Amino acid sequence: MMKASLTPGVRPAAVLLVTLALLALPRAARAHAYPDHADPRVGSTVRDSPPQVRIWFDGPLEPAFSSLAVHGPDGAAVDDGHGRVDPADPKLLEVDVPQLKPGTYRVTWSVVAKDGHRTSGDYTFTMR
């Protein structure tokens, strides 16, 4: 049986290259900030009007480039217009809302992660 031979140093260099590439993958996978959970929850039906709509992300956000809005059943904005990243928790995006009436509300968000990547999305919840 014939064995393949490698030039001395080639195998360790290849192992090092593969290891470095694998170490870079988790960092690349976290390059964007994605929602972790929200209050009110995505798709939920709530009975009591929340004072705020809040979304927690899986990474810190750039406050100057992150926004959050809440639109009522008629499509008009119902939030106070001051969506913000919580200074005490850079992963939390929040906005104040008035007493909400029954109906389906659409929450839209756009954020920039600390590494500069932008993500955006939306979800709905229903007030009973």
Give the C-alpha separation, 105 to 75, whole Å.
8
* pTM to 2 decimal places: 0.76
Q: In what order do the strands lie in the sheet with 67-71?
A: 45-46, 118-127, 103-112, 67-71
pLDDT of residue 28: 44
Residue 68 has pLDDT above 50, yes or no: yes
Residue 27 has pLDDT above 50, yes or no: no
Looking at every residue in the chain, the average pLDDT score rounds to 86
Q: In which band, very low, low, confident or very high, does the pLDDT at 62 lie, cut at 50, 70 and 90?
A: very high
Give the C-alpha separation, 28 to 39, whole Å.
28
Mean pLDDT of 113-118: 94
pLDDT of residue 29: 47
Domains and CATH numbers, the chain: 35-127 (2.60.40.1220)
**What angle (nearest 5°) sits at the alpha carbon of residue 63, between those of residues 110 and 24?**
75
Q: In which band, very low, low, confident or very high, does the pLDDT at 13 lie, cut at 50, 70 and 90?
A: low
118 or 29: whose pLDDT is higher? 118
pLDDT of residue 8: 56
